[in-house]
Structure 1
Amino acid sequence: MSSIKHLVYAIIQFLREQSHMDTYSSDEQESLEVAVQCLETVFQIRIEDRHLATAEPLEELFTNNFCKNDKLPLSLSSLPDNAEKAIQLKDEGNNHMKEENYSAAVDCYNQAVQLDPNNAVYYCNRAAAYSKLGKYIEAIRDCETAISIEPSYSKAYGRMGLALTAMNKYEQAITSYQKALDLEPENDSYKSNLKMAQQKLRDISSPTETGCGFDMASLINNPAFVSMAASLMQNPQVQQLMSGMMSSAVGGPAAGVGGLTDLSSLIQAGQQFAQQMQQQNPELIEQLRNHVRSRSFSSSTEEHS
């Protein structure tokens, strides 16, 4: 293994020198740097390990190591046990993702990270599994870790954008997608997700939204509001009130027997309905009242020609 480390150290030094040459494009230079990081991680070699340096030219070192044996000494069996096991766990996690068994995938990626904590892929894959489980904060944290290990990892920026979008943090999501596209300009998925996040940001900033920042669309999609509404509609008293309100609205003062036959009765029914909602969720009703007040204030201050 000592001779292999000498060879790998020489290869790393060669690749590092090549990555700084102007003859390569920026993308090619980044690829060489990533290759260096992978070799350093797998073989646990650092730039400070100067004792591994040799005066023997790389070509001769390579020939002497490979021509003495029929098989390649850098086969998977020569990798450190931890790195090899981590790769197997990553593959198992990927299979669980295909089967939509996201919790099992997280378990596999967890073990891979423990065995090889400097591999950005394992964090990024775990971020995808976390997002599928709705654990967006954990997903973002894993993407950030992956980026800290490999700053040019476009997939980590893309997956962070997905998690941020799911949390309605559209401005931050747009930044992530733009960074992903900077690194991978032809990726159609990043382009599509960026446009979607930009549209979402425009929607919440459109004139149809209220000036006080109250999001009616979010209210309608709020599980607490939906649950409260469903509970109210199961209440016989509320059902009677709603029936009366509809009868009065459709039939007017001449509505059938048992219905609401005048405007004052309709107002009274509306007040009773509001009281029922107040008992169910007083905080939500206060938000609605503030919303109505803000709309009234906005209308009263409009300039008319």
Structure 2
Amino acid sequence: MSELKRLAYSIIDFLREQTRSQAWNSDERESLEVAMQCLENVFKISSRDIHLAVSPPLTEIFSAAVTKDLIWNTPSGFTPSAQDAIRAEQLKNEGNNYIKEENYRAAVDSYSQAIELDPNSAVYFCNRAAAQSKLNNYTAAIEDCKRAIAIDPDYSKAYGRMGLALTSLNKHSEAITYYQKAVELDPENGTFISNLRVAEQKIGEASSPTGAGLGVDLASLLNNPSFVSMAASLMQNPQLQQLMSGMMSNAISGPAAGVGGLTDMGSLIQAGQQFAQQMQEENPELIEQLRNQIRTRSFSGSNEDQS
């Protein structure tokens, strides 16, 4: 019975991972939830029973089996016929066009057909990974990147796309490893370099209480003399002073504070908008620098070309 419980726990863990990483509709998600609840009830287990977990997890076991079947079990020296190779390339190009049209499901289908005809192409797997990521199927994208890397260990784009998929699952430490390999293989690729830097910043933010989760580096901002000077100047504005006074009065006395208190979110938003507008008027160059900082902290690769 204990072995059955461990198997049931592994299946539940696998299904739970799929619900997080795949783009299911409401009916599909509900069916998965019911399946997990049934297993928990039958075997009287829950997610808290971590002592039942197996290593490696079922996800990795399944992925390894699929990868082995599709790549390592391909007959030695397998070469598609000339006709199949031509058709596979046509399907790949169709997939690329679907990507440009943002028809990602059709792209996945085209790449999958190409893979059936020629399972030795790292490009087909890597392109399908890009389409899977667009559909938020990050686990599937990771598996396709693994297959591409197994076929061609020097294919930099596969490492880069692996990093993007891992980043989307908030696995920044793992993503850094793949970005580093991508940069090593293609040191002139600005996208790889930019994504590596952002992933490293994410790790830094996670370990630092200062500025965590913000779009800008708060510590650097507060140490910027231009920003501090501008903020101090703006705070002398009588209208802003009235709004801030009202907010402080409301914080002390509650929503029943006198006229001028910030009694709703709209007033707070209004204060913020006025402050931002005056900052823009006072120092547009600094505001543009902050905007550029936010842009560079966003990951590149959303419009990456296909091979």
Measured against the shorter chain, the TM-score band is 0.3 to 0.5
TM-score scaled by length of structure 1: 0.45
Q: Which has the larger radius of gyration?
A: 1
TM-score scaled by length of structure 2: 0.45
Q: Which has the higher contact order (CA 8 A, sep 6+)?
A: 2
